[in-house]
Structure 1
Amino acid sequence: MAKRTTKTPATPETKPETERDAQLTPSTEPEVYSRLTEFDIYLFRAGKHTRLYEKLGAHVVEWKGVVGTYFAVWAPAARYVSVIGNFNGWQKGSHPLHVRWDGSGIWEGFIPHIGRGEVYKYAITHESGRELEKGDPFALWWETPPLTASVVWDTWYEWKDDYWMRNRGKFNALNKPISVYEIHLSSWRRDPADPERKLSYGEVADALVPYLKEMGFTHVEFMPVMEFPYDPSWGYQITGYFAPSSRFGTPQDFMTLIERLHQENIGVYLDWVPSHFPGDAHGLYEFDGSHLYEHPDPRKGYHPDWKSYIFNYGRNEVRSFLLSNALFWLDRFHADGLRVDAVASMLYLDYSRNHGEWEPNIFGGRENLEAISLFKELNEAVYKDYPEAQTIAEESTAFPGVTRPTYTGGLGFGMKWMMGWMNDTLRYFQRDAYYRRWHQDEVTFSTVYAFSENFMLPFSHDEVVYGKKSLVSKMPGDEWQRFANLRLLFTYMFTHPGTKLLFMGGEFGQTSEWKFAGSLDWHLLEYAPHQGMKECVKALNHLYRSEPALYEQSFVAEGFEWIDTMDRENSILVYARKGTRTKEQMVVVLNMTPMPRTDYRVGVPVAGTWVEVFNSDHQDFYGSGLRNPAPLVSTPDVWHGRPNSITLAIPPLGAVVLKYQNKP
């Protein structure tokens, strides 16, 4: 193998966090030392170890007065394992590892005089004689793709986000506003002087932190940042599960990005992908020559949609790997939550498979019992050690109890994407306004099941790629109507029960569908419709964050009440949102047609004065400006089955949000 980088001399870390609690214990060979205790091995083999990253992988240590690197790798089907790298000219026989005596299948060893920055791989010879070169499953950093070697590194960082970490329960709880901006690091922005150049983690921080602060989003969700070899996978085909991608900088650079977000009280969710991994030669696939991480039965171990491989959820050591990886990002990178990708593909044995292509579970059903038990263990581990974090399931079926506690039989997630709401809403809003009167149930149906789970309302990257068109381009009508429709849709989203997620570009009406290889079209903000859309989303975030009625009771029926769903002829919907106190009540009126309505009567939950606090038709939003500037005082006229009502003006393709002010 060709030499690729210059050797970095070994240097002890100033404060090696990975060695703080290490106890080097002798194995059967007196010159081989280990970070692993017998209890570690027990937990690993039982599928209960949640801190394997402190034990396996590469760790710079000092032993017998010599600084070097300790390596440990799980390869039970190997006949021989050695470490190769620039330090030994990539020679397979010069630095062998030793297999442990306890039958764990772990190979380990100490190599003096190499340290932080050294590139390496494991040369593995399978029992059959087959030879492989593999990156380290626990590597903390990797070479920048297309190079494929691991890099000896650490996760030492002096964090300066103490206020956030002490108080994030005030920002990250389910009775608080959660408005998430989903971002793909490679394509959010590019260097204006060189559109081919991706921004570094530091450059992203310089632009992203003030932007999120201005826009009012409470959280950011990064599409997978873990190391991956192939850009068109968007990061969902991971080879380096314990390393942020070197495309944008070092692990510490990524920590700085998170720290700066936390310093502005912005939470960070990370996409986490336990559902599958690619078959790249340097990755997890056939790691030691056997089906080590993937299930050996292709009916359970191969994903036909993504041409990738599925973890063996029933193998205890693999479960320890996945549990440790989830907690690693919460521990070492201060992540505030994990959005778990493709949960449905893990829950069902027949996912994307035809008859005869899958094997039922021991009870004859289609549920993947091993994956279900893994999810329960995962969520119990997360909420035990990080009770103020959140786990969010991307789950598109009606599997029961996804966000219910494990002690009641649920999976234990904090939130779940409300895919049904997303699909119904987009289907409705893509209809010409004339036909909406016959499809009002597509909007109202969501509240039939809205409180069965803790739902997040997602308009994610999946809705704006590969011919699906951007959100604003999905809307019908001329330019003005398309933008009015999108403002109306966003108002419906922000006032509907549930937390919120919006993919980058949607907030200013990106007109082209998302392309992973280039920047968003930021120049569109030079035009009034796009600038108005941005101002509208900013105002909606402010409204959502400032009004307890919109977030305090997002997951219980007491926080929502339909006032009128029957005016199909005019395609108008009216509902109330309620906080925990009587005075925290709001009424939302949606006009799904381009016809303005004046003197429109609406029943209100309580008598008193109602004030318009948001109008999607505001001139600042590129609207026509039909508003209700004066307070609206209710009269004792029975309407919509309520003893008191008000009259108001409703703008075309517009939404009005009214807040209860006081009693008459």
Structure 2
Amino acid sequence: MKTIPYSLFTDFDISLFKAGKHFRLYEKLGAHLTEVDGQKGTYFAVWAPSAKSVSVVGDFNYWTHGEHDLNVRWDGSGIWEGFIPNIEKGSKYKYKIESHHNNIMTEKADPFALFCETPPQTASVVWDLNHDWSDENWMKNRKNFNDLDKPYSVYEVHIGSWKKKIEENRSLTYLELAEDLVKYVKETGFTHIEFMPIMEYPYEPSWGYQLVGYFAPTSRFGKPQDFMVLVQKFHEAGIGVILDWVPSHFPSDEHGLGFFDGTHLYEHPDIRKGYHPDWKSLIFNYGRNEVRSFLISNAVFWLQKYHIDGLRVDAVASMLYLDYSRKEGEWEPNIFGGRENLDTISFLKELNEEIYWNFDGVQTIAEESTSFPMVSKPTYVGGLGFGMKWMMGWMHDTLEYFKKEPIYRKHHQNDLTFSMTYAFTENFMLPLSHDEVVYGKQSMLNKMPGDEWQKFGNLRLLYSFMFTHPGTKLLFMGSEFGQSAEWNFDQSLDWHLLQYDFHSGIKNLITDLNKLYKQEPALFEKQFSHDGFEWINYGDHENSVLSYIRKGNNLDENVIVVCNLTPVIRENYRIGIPSNKNLEEIFNSDKKEYGGTNVYNVNLKTQDIPWNGRDFSCSMTLPPLGVLVFKLV
């Protein structure tokens, strides 16, 4: 049967769309299973304002142009729509678009497709999002787990390479991950999982950062409902789910968003703003109202339809600056003569306002590597409105420090202490992400200097320093057990390493650090505030020792941290104490079960000996390459 005139759009929908204020576009555009005049079928709607004609082609009409033409709306919105009877769930389709601009005929995947063929196939698939959710308790109480004054420890995962069925030479499915991955993340104690992009992408080596199907979880690992089950299982285990989200650029694949209706529809028409020289990809036109509606609708879609708890927004720096990766003459200043992209700034503010207004207990996290001000401050004080920002400076300085042989560290202690001069200018997340273990950068373990024992000792030291430093935490998969090789997206993690004591010791350490982080309010209640941190001594360069206090809302729950950054055992090491209470050792990174030497302290007595500018002090033994955490008792 031919296309029947039909519409899901109201006049109000159209006015919102044109104004860039329609943030539920997925309810209107795309393919929707429905019933019209007693006939079951599918309603199709696509935005293509420069099209001369649009028809739906698919496996139901032998991919024949003209069999099912869509009708263009009369209101100038550029939307083509229509109802086609008897098209069922699972039908494959594309839009055949003839352009007024150049009369070229192209086949495009549906920008709002809910499901896609598995690459390298490129068709969209008619689908629905019906699912019986059973995570009501999590959603109702999410704010209690996901707020900025709660422990926030993220396990970053690339689904395709976390674990593979070796005998079948394939990755785990969403449903298999719902068993294995959920159990593992629960066991190691992370509070959140972060998936590298799971939206449909054509090119495997892009790791998912070159998206085509913005509204479809990749079919490589299962159906949309299977991914919903995975999210649901994490929620039932008390674990939040964060998605990498990529509004910064998109690939120029023929079936994708680029040159969609024969014109620069989604991408900026000016190559200085619309083409990314680093990634050879296209950049969204953030000043075009309909494109803003598309992107904000997409962010809202994952939060609403998939119960996602946070979005980590990729490559924000590339969006903010007109001269990003461009030489002189390759970019044009804004109307005030500056290099900031004003369209991007207003878009990001509106994005965050929409998310935080409508979804209680979610977070947005910016991967932003510059000194752009107030990224994680509210929009009402002039900020961009993100919940958190990756602390790239801390990551870089800390890894540079830890690469150095311990004998030279006394000359570089400021690499570690410098972060505290700006630690509270933003709500920072400390990231040891996938970017640090690829392209010759080596694994986290092999960045560390020394023999085998020292490599593992340094890694334990690094992680313990990270977990006691202000800010939330992120660790890439494999790093939690000391993966030896660099990450390879095409291979499984080296799970066999866990049979060796040093590697299982790192996993034990991370498990206990997550437990410590969650159990000690001083480590999270004021993790973004000056009030939550105080140095005891940052100037002992000669011994390469740092000591500091982490503070919560209750002074009685404060903890004291001492880091020995060399492999030398330091006996009778004295630090100043804020009261005359004794010290109880509650964490020691040198424990035997972590692979350490088991140097520890028992019954430490505070003495009336002034030290480090304090009236009281305590003498202790510092383990080699070790971190100690104490409570006052």
Q: TM-score, normalised by structure 1?
A: 0.94
- The match for 2:197 among 215, 224, 236 is 224
- What residue in structure 2 maps to residue 66 of structure 1? 39
- What residue in structure 2 maps to residue 644 of structure 1? 616
- What residue in structure 2 maps to residue 175 of structure 1? 149
Q: Distance in 2 between matches of 1:485 and 1:240?
A: 42
- The match for 1:82 among 47, 52, 55 is 55
Q: Distance in 2 between matches of 1:172 and 1:334?
A: 13
- The match for 1:138 among 112, 130, 137 is 112
> How far has the Cα of 1:192 moved from its partner?
3.0
Name the SS for the 1:236 alignment partner. coil
Q: Distance in 1 between matches of 2:479 and 2:521?
A: 25
Q: Distance in 2 between matches of 1:244 and 1:232?
A: 17
> How far has the Cα of 1:486 moved from its partner?
0.4
- What residue in structure 1 maps to residue 437 of structure 2? 464
Alignment of 1:444 onto 2:420: no
Pairs within 5 Å for 1:193-592: 193-194=167-168, 196-592=169-565
Q: Distance in 1 between matches of 2:572 and 2:141?
A: 47
- The letter of the residue matching 1:184 is H
- What residue in structure 1 maps to residue 126 of structure 2? 152
- The letter of the residue matching 1:185 is I
- The letter of the residue matching 1:660 is L
Stretches (4+) displaced over 4 A: none
Name the SS for the 2:184 alignment partner. helix
Name the SS for the 1:446 alignment partner. helix
> How far has the Cα of 1:586 moved from its partner?
0.7
- The match for 1:632 among 594, 597, 604 is 604
Q: Distance in 2 between matches of 1:154 and 1:319?
A: 24
- What residue in structure 2 maps to residue 123 of structure 1? 96
Give ranges in structure 1 of 5+ residues lacking alignment.
Answer: 1-9, 11-29
- The letter of the residue matching 1:460 is S
Residues 599 and 623 of structure 2 are in contact (CA less than 8 Å); yes or no, is this contact kept in structure 1? yes
Name the SS for the 2:33 alignment partner. strand
> How far has the Cα of 1:515 moved from its partner?
0.4
Q: Distance in 1 between matches of 2:360 and 2:316?
A: 21
Q: Distance in 2 between matches of 1:154 and 1:224?
A: 21
> How far has the Cα of 1:126 moved from its partner?
0.5
Q: Distance in 2 between matches of 1:374 and 1:613?
A: 46
Residues 4 and 83 of structure 2 are in contact (CA less than 8 Å); yes or no, is this contact kept in structure 1? no
> How far has the Cα of 1:620 moved from its partner?
0.4
Check 1:105–1:214 CA distance in 2 against 1; reply closer, same or farther (3 A cut).
same
- Once the two structures are superposed, what CA deviation does each residue of 1:246-292 show, in whole Å capped at 9, x if it has no partner? 00000000000000000010000000000000000000000111000
> How far has the Cα of 1:604 moved from its partner?
1.2
- Once the two structures are superposed, what CA deviation does each residue of 1:34-82 show, in whole Å capped at 9, x if it has no partner? 0001111111111111100000000011000000000000000100000
> How far has the Cα of 1:105 moved from its partner?
0.2
Pairs within 5 Å for 1:613-624: 613-624=586-597
Residues 589 and 596 of structure 2 are in contact (CA less than 8 Å); yes or no, is this contact kept in structure 1? yes
> How far has the Cα of 1:619 moved from its partner?
0.3
- What residue in structure 1 maps to residue 163 of structure 2? 189
Q: Distance in 2 between matches of 1:577 and 1:387?
A: 28
- What residue in structure 1 maps to residue 14 of structure 2? 41
Give ranges in structure 2 of 5+ residues lacking alignment.
Answer: none
- The letter of the residue matching 1:391 is T
- Once the two structures are superposed, what CA deviation does each residue of 1:323-345 show, in whole Å capped at 9, x if it has no partner? 00000000000000000000000
- The letter of the residue matching 2:103 is G
- The letter of the residue matching 1:646 is C
Q: Distance in 1 between matches of 2:127 and 2:380?
A: 39
Q: Distance in 1 between matches of 2:389 and 2:130?
A: 33
- The letter of the residue matching 2:306 is F
Q: Distance in 2 between matches of 1:163 and 1:113?
A: 39
Name the SS for the 2:215 alignment partner. strand
Name the SS for the 2:302 alignment partner. helix
Q: Count residues with an aligned counterpart.
A: 631
- Once the two structures are superposed, what CA deviation does each residue of 1:443-482 show, in whole Å capped at 9, x if it has no partner? 0000000000000000000000010000010000000000
- The letter of the residue matching 1:638 is P
Name the SS for the 1:646 alignment partner. strand
> How far has the Cα of 1:209 moved from its partner?
0.8
Alignment of 1:659 onto 2:631: yes
Q: Distance in 1 between matches of 2:311 and 2:525?
A: 22
Residues 19 and 290 of structure 2 are in contact (CA less than 8 Å); yes or no, is this contact kept in structure 1? yes
> How far has the Cα of 1:632 moved from its partner?
1.5
Q: Distance in 1 between matches of 2:458 and 2:337?
A: 47
Name the SS for the 1:95 alignment partner. coil
Name the SS for the 1:565 alignment partner. strand
- The letter of the residue matching 1:140 is L
Q: Distance in 2 between matches of 1:160 and 1:192?
A: 32
Q: Distance in 2 between matches of 1:314 and 1:585?
A: 48
> How far has the Cα of 1:95 moved from its partner?
0.4
- The letter of the residue matching 1:649 is T
Residues 397 and 415 of structure 2 are in contact (CA less than 8 Å); yes or no, is this contact kept in structure 1? yes
Q: Distance in 2 between matches of 1:271 and 1:341?
A: 7
> How far has the Cα of 1:631 moved from its partner?
2.5
- The letter of the residue matching 2:158 is H
Q: Distance in 1 between matches of 2:227 and 2:540?
A: 51
- The letter of the residue matching 2:110 is D
Q: Distance in 1 between matches of 2:228 and 2:79?
A: 30
Residues 4 and 82 of structure 2 are in contact (CA less than 8 Å); yes or no, is this contact kept in structure 1? no
> How far has the Cα of 1:31 moved from its partner?
5.2
- The letter of the residue matching 1:186 is G
Q: Distance in 1 between matches of 2:125 and 2:302?
A: 18
- The match for 1:603 among 572, 576, 582 is 576
> How far has the Cα of 1:633 moved from its partner?
2.1
- Once the two structures are superposed, what CA deviation does each residue of 1:94-129 show, in whole Å capped at 9, x if it has no partner? 100000000000000100001110000000000121
Name the SS for the 1:632 alignment partner. coil
> How far has the Cα of 1:204 moved from its partner?
1.1
- The match for 1:112 among 85, 89, 111 is 85
Q: Distance in 1 between matches of 2:386 and 2:580?
A: 40
Q: Distance in 2 between matches of 1:157 and 1:117?
A: 16
Q: Distance in 2 between matches of 1:427 and 1:68?
A: 60
Residues 4 and 84 of structure 2 are in contact (CA less than 8 Å); yes or no, is this contact kept in structure 1? no
Residues 406 and 565 of structure 2 are in contact (CA less than 8 Å); yes or no, is this contact kept in structure 1? yes
- Once the two structures are superposed, what CA deviation does each residue of 1:290-327 show, in whole Å capped at 9, x if it has no partner? 00000011100000000000000000000000000000
Identity of aligned residues (%): 63
Q: Distance in 2 between matches of 1:631 and 1:223?
A: 46
